[in-house]
Amino acid sequence: MIEVRQARFAYPSGPPVIRGVTVSLEPGAMAALIGPNGCGKSTLVRLMAGLLKPSEGEILLDGRPLHLASPAERTRKIAYVPQGTARAFPFTAFEVVLTGRSPYLSRYAFEGRRDAEQAMEAMDAVGVAGLASRRITELSSGERQLVSLARALAQQPACILLDEPAASLDLKHRAALVRTLAGLQARRGLTVLLVTHDLSMLDPHFNVIFALRDGAMAATGSPREILQEAVLAEVFGDEHARVWHAEGRTFVWSEV
Amino acid sequence: MAASAESAILIPGRMPKAVLVRSLVILLMVLAAATFIALWAGYQRLDWYTLRHDETARAIFFRLRLPRVVLAGVIGSTLALVGAALQALFRNPLADPFTLGVSGGGALGASVAIALGWGARVAGVPIVFLVAFAGSAAAILVVYNIARTGATVAPGALLLAGVVCNLTAGAGVLTIQYFADENRGLQILRWLIGSLDAVGFETTNQMLIFLIPGWIALLAFSRDLHLLAMDEDTAASLGVNVRRSELCIYALSSLLVGVTVAVGGSIGFVGLIVPHVVRLLFGQDVRIVMPCSFLLGAAFLMLADAVARTALGQTELPVGAVTGILGGPLFLWLMRRDQRYSAMQS
Contact B3 A89 (CB under 8 A): no
* 3-state SS class at B155: helix
The mean pLDDT of B130-146, rounded to a whole number, is 89
- Mutate: best of A9, A43, A89, partner B, most B CBs <10 A: A89
pLDDT at position B338: 65
From the number of C-beta atoms within 10 Å of its C-beta (0-12, 13-18, 19+), residue B140 rates as buried
Closest CA to B291 of B237, B223, B228, B207: B223
pLDDT digits (tens, 9 = 90+) for B169-200: 989 988 888 888 887 777 777 666 556 765 67
pLDDT digits (tens, 9 = 90+) for A226-245: 998 999 999 998 888 898 98
Closest residue on chain A to B21 (Cα): A110
Q: How far apart are CA A196 and CA A252, in angstroms?
A: 13
Backbone angles phi, psi at A23, to 5 degrees: -140, 140
Q: Other C-beta atoms within 10 Å of B25: how many?
A: 10
Which residues on neighbouring strands pair with residue A215, listed in sequence order?
none
Contact A89 B17 (CB under 8 A): no
Backbone angles phi, psi at A98, to 5 degrees: -60, -30
Give A185's pLDDT tier (boundaries 50, 70, 90). very high
For residue A130, what are the contacts with CB-CB under 8 A and spacing of at least 6? none
Give B80's pLDDT tier (boundaries 50, 70, 90). very high
Q: How far apart are CA B176 and CA B199, in angstroms?
A: 23
Interface contacts (A, B; CB < 8 Å): 115
Do residues B277 and B296 touch, judged by C-beta distance below 8 A? yes
Which bin fits B342, alpha (ψ -120 to 50), beta or left (φ > 0)? left
Which of B7, B220, B230 has its CB closest to that of A96? B230
Top CATH class of B28-38+60-190+203-335 equals mainly alpha
Task: Quote the mean pLDDT of chain B.
Answer: 85
User: How is A155-212 classified by DSSP, letter by letter?
Assistant: T--SEEEEESTTTT--HHHHHHHHHHHHHHHHHH--EEEEE-S-GGGSTTT-SEEEEE
Query: Any idea where the domains of chain A sit in the sequence?
Result: 2-84+157-254
Contact A75 B233 (CB under 8 A): no
Contact A91 B13 (CB under 8 A): no
Helices (H), chain A: 41-48, 71-77, 93-98, 113-126, 141-154, 171-188, 223-226, 229-236
A244 to chain B, minimum CA–CA distance in Å? 37
Do residues A192 and A183 touch, judged by C-beta distance below 8 A? no
Which residues on neighbouring strands pair with residue A135, listed in sequence order?
A92
Q: Which amino acid is at B14?
A: R
Residues of A at the B interface (Cβ-Cβ below 8 Å)? 11, 46, 49-51, 71-72, 74-75, 78-80, 82, 85-92, 94-96, 98-100, 102-103, 107-108, 110-113, 116-117, 120-121, 132-133, 137, 148, 151, 155
Contact B237 A112 (CB under 8 A): no
Contact B15 A110 (CB under 8 A): yes
Contact B230 A74 (CB under 8 A): no
Intra-chain end-to-end CA distance of chain B, in Å: 42
Q: How far apart are CA B181 and CA B116, in angstroms?
A: 10
Contact A100 B238 (CB under 8 A): yes
pLDDT at position B6: 42
Top CATH class of A2-84+157-254 equals alpha beta
From the number of C-beta atoms within 10 Å of its C-beta (0-12, 13-18, 19+), residue B109 rates as buried
- Mutate: best of B15, B86, B227, B234, partner A, most A CBs <10 A: B234
Cβ contacts (< 8 Å) between B226 and chain A: which residues?
99
- Helical (H) or strand (E) element with B126: strand B125-126
Beta strand A249-254 with A16-25 is: unpaired
Query: Any idea where the domains of chain B sit in the sequence?
Result: 28-38+60-190+203-335
Contact B239 A96 (CB under 8 A): no
pLDDT at position B121: 67
Which of A167-171, A193-197, B87-91 is the least confident region? Answer: A167-171
A187 to chain B, minimum CA–CA distance in Å? 21
pLDDT at position B298: 97
Which of B15, B238, B343 has its CB closest to that of A116? B15
pLDDT digits (tens, 9 = 90+) for A127-139: 899 999 999 988 9
pLDDT at position B9: 66
B101 to chain A, minimum CA–CA distance in Å? 21
The mean pLDDT of B60-76, rounded to a whole number, is 90
* 3-state SS class at A216: strand
ipTM of the modeled complex:
0.92
Q: How far apart are CA A100 and CA B232, in angstroms?
A: 14
B144 to chain A, minimum CA–CA distance in Å? 17
pLDDT digits (tens, 9 = 90+) for B198-243: 567 888 888 899 999 999 999 999 999 999 999 888 999 999 999 8
Q: What is the CA radius of gyration of chain B?
A: 21
Q: Which amino acid is at A157?
A: P
Q: How far apart are CA A77 and CA A94, in angstroms?
A: 22
B134 to chain A, minimum CA–CA distance in Å? 27
The mean pLDDT of B305-312, rounded to a whole number, is 88
Cβ contacts (< 8 Å) between B237 and chain A: which residues?
49-51, 75, 78-80, 82
Closest residue on chain B to A106 (Cα): B223
The answer to whether the Cα torsion of B207, B213, B216, B221 is positive or negative is: negative
Report whether pLDDT(A179) > 60. yes
B91 to chain A, minimum CA–CA distance in Å? 5
Do residues B321 and B334 touch, judged by C-beta distance below 8 A? no
Helices (H), chain B: 16-40, 48-53, 55-59, 66-90, 102-115, 127-147, 155-179, 182-193, 200-219, 222-230, 232-237, 242-264, 270-282, 286-310, 319-340
